[in-house]
Amino acid sequence: MPTLSYADGVITMIDQTQLPQEEVWLNIDNVDDLVAAIKRLSVRGAPAIGVAGAYGIVLAALAHSPNDDTAKFDAAVSAIREARPTAVNLAYSVDRVVPVAREGGADAALAEAELIRDEELAASFAMGELGADLVTELTESSSVRAMTICNTGGLATVERGTALAVIQTLHERGTLNEAIPLETRPLLQGGRLTTWELQQMGAPFRLIVDSAGPFLLSRGAADVVLIGADRIAANGDTANKIGSFSLALAAQHAGVPFLVVAPESTIDMNTPSGDDIEIEDRGPTEVAGLRGVPSAPDGTDAINPAFDVTPASMITAIVTDKRIVRVGAGETL
Ligand code: MRU
């Protein structure tokens, strides 16, 4: 099943907060519920929230005519666009679908949203192939050990994924020794979701705690680090899940290639550098507890950046659906 789909005024999505224990499907027919689902990460991952946002504009256009009920339509658009600030795919999709909705109403908006979904799906397959070719070239290995963080699989896109699509392609080619996913505190997207997807694809893997990643790289436990991206600035600086920067530092120290895998829609040429990327802080609750169970004294405050920024100079290459850009070697986007 695709991570999310749309039919007859309803967005259907798997509730990623419940995985892997339960496979719960949500049927969402209004913008408020969609915004809540995006904020609590029932749907998450840059391309997936981009597609969800695109469908959200269809819901908005069905509820409020984009031309006759502009105040309500515009308020719904803003609520969707601002549901999460770091992943550019959300703003990208909204900004693509809104003018189409104003021009041709909900039906035209739906056609544009379906186009975005189809583009993301095709991009996943293209990134998988290009990325796997590059991994083979850089590692000169037919038995690759690939470290990765967060969840970048079909759940984070529409199907297949970004960095995890590369790992899946290596597995299908018979050149994956093992995947090494970080569990990815505080919300455990690696421990809950990437493991679930790796199991489903039958790929060998061993899960590690986040703090083991840099150390294991220093001990030669992985041949490559593969991450996704939430926003790639014009200079190649890359925002991705918190912990990516630590892996980049360690990969550089160990001389291990560090690859960013993301569709072209994640590149934001309007953002000059990583310093200009807004990093979402999700508040103390997720840090002071684990899935509702407190792990720190009541009232504990916390700093909870959901993402960090890896400088372009530390990235061996950015792999998109169209090209490979060796930013660490000075190539530009
Ligand atoms: O907070 P999340 O789970 O939405 O964060 C997701 C990530 O950081 C992914 O690595 C990124 O969106 C790329 S996934 C295709």
- As a whole number, the mean pLDDT across the chain is 97
52, pLDDT greater than 80: yes
- Whether residue 1 is predicted with pLDDT greater than 80 in this model: the reply is no
Q: Which atom of ligand 1 is nearest to the CA of 84?
A: 4
Ligand 1 mutation pick, 51, 152, 159, max ligand atoms within 8 A of CB:
152
Q: What is the pLDDT of residues 182-238, one digit of tens each?
A: 999 999 999 999 999 999 999 999 999 999 999 999 999 999 999 999 999 999 999
Structural domain spans, the chain = 4-120, 125-329
pLDDT-above-70 percentage for the chain: 100
Beta carbon of 42 within 6 Å of any ligand 1 atom: no
What's the fold here for domain 4-120? Four Helix Bundle (Hemerythrin (Met), subunit A) (1.20.120)
Ligand 1 contacts CB of residue 152 (under 6 A): yes
Dist. CA 229–CA 172, nearest whole Å: 23
| Long-range contacts, 286-289 (Cβ 8 Å, 24+) | 286/186, 286/187, 287/186
* Other Cβ atoms closer than 10 A to 41: 18
Q: Tokens in use for 248? A: 């980049």
pLDDT in tens, 75-108: 999 999 999 999 999 999 999 999 999 999 999 9
How do residues 277-287 score in pLDDT, each as one tens digit? 999 999 999 99
Ligand 1 neighbourhood includes 235 CB (under 6 angstroms): no
* 8 Å CB contact between 135 and 226: yes
pLDDT of residue 312: 97
Helices then strands, each counted (H, E), the chain? 8, 15
* Residue 150 Cα: closest atom of ligand 1: 10
Please give the pLDDT value at position 288.
97
The third-level CATH classification (topology) of the domain covering 125-329 is Rossmann fold (3.40.50)
CA distance 137 to 173: 14
Average pLDDT over residues 321-325: 98
Token pair 């916390």 is at which residue?
Answer: 302
121 alpha-carbon distance from chain centroid: 13
Which residues are marked as active site?
230
Tokens of 88: 């550019």
Summarize the confidence of residues 47-73 as an average pLDDT: 97
| Pocket-testing residue among 194, 240, 264, 320, ligand 1, by greatest number of atoms within 8 A of Cβ | 240
What does the alpha-carbon distance between residue 128 and residue 161 come to, in Å, rounded to a whole number? Answer: 8
Cβ atoms of 247 and 217 closer than 8 Å: yes
Q: Give nearest CA residue, ligand 1 atom 15.
A: 152
What is the spatial distance between Cα 308 and Cα 103, in angstroms, rounded to a whole number?
A: 38
Question: Is ligand 1 within 6 A of the CB of residue 37?
Answer: no
Residue 292 has pLDDT above 90, yes or no: no
